[in-house]
């Protein structure tokens, strides 16, 4: 009987150790690229997973086929793409998308930026130093990418994407 208890204790320890070692936040704790854009904190993990936390929570809908939206029946505070066979989904760990002290602004870590065509004639976008609102920023890491502007967000990972603006996120 003692041998059985020892065996089950060892198995339980292995299960717990495996869950800790392979949890979804593990890749984020090892590294990745963290960034924020206004009330949205995001990370592209070293394994290509993407997650964004929304402050305040937002609505999420899935678009599995053309003209068919499936809304999630509750507001979500974070959305992740961490598995190729799942659509973007609530991750349940919004705090994992933010580093202690906050994420750096997207403008500081972006791979590229481009001026938004619709704003070229806006007075705040002309001159030697156009304002931040005039740009769309792109960041790529580990085969995944996100594009963010003042009013929109789009992230691509593992053959999936989520995008949105004005409190609505749509996952494909």
- Give the model confidence (pLDDT) of 41-52 as tens digits: 999 999 999 999
Phi–psi pair at 39, nearest 5 degrees: -85, 15
What is the pLDDT, as a whole number, of residue 10? 31
pTM above 0.85, yes or no: no
- 7 SS3 class: helix
155 has which bridge partners? 146, 162
3-state secondary structure of 101: coil
pLDDT in tens, 87-126: 999 998 888 899 999 999 999 999 999 998 888 888 888 8
Among the listed residues 22, 23, 27, the one whose alpha carbon sits nearest the alpha carbon of residue 44: 27
């Amino acid at each position: 009987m003692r041998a059985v208890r020892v065996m089950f204790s060892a198995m339980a320890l292995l299960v717990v150790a495996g869950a800790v070692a392979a949890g979804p936040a593990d890749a984020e704790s090892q590294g990745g690229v963290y960034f924020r854009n206004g009330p949205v904190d995001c990370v592209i993990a070293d394994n290509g997973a993407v997650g964004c936390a929304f402050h305040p929570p937002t609505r999420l809908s899935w678009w599995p086929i053309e003209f068919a939206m499936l809304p999630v029946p509750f507001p979500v505070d974070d959305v992740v793409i961490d598995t190729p066979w799942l659509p973007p989904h609530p991750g349940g760990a919004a705090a994992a998308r933010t580093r202690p002290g906050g994420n750096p602004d997207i403008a500081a870590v972006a791979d590229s930026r481009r001026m938004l065509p619709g704003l070229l004639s806006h007075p705040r976008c002309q001159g030697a130093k156009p304002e931040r609102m005039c740009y769309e920023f792109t960041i790529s890491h580990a085969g995944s990418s996100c594009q963010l502007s003042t009013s929109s967000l789009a992230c691509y990972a593992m053959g999936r994407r989520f995008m949105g603006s004005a409190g609505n996120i749509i996952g494909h």
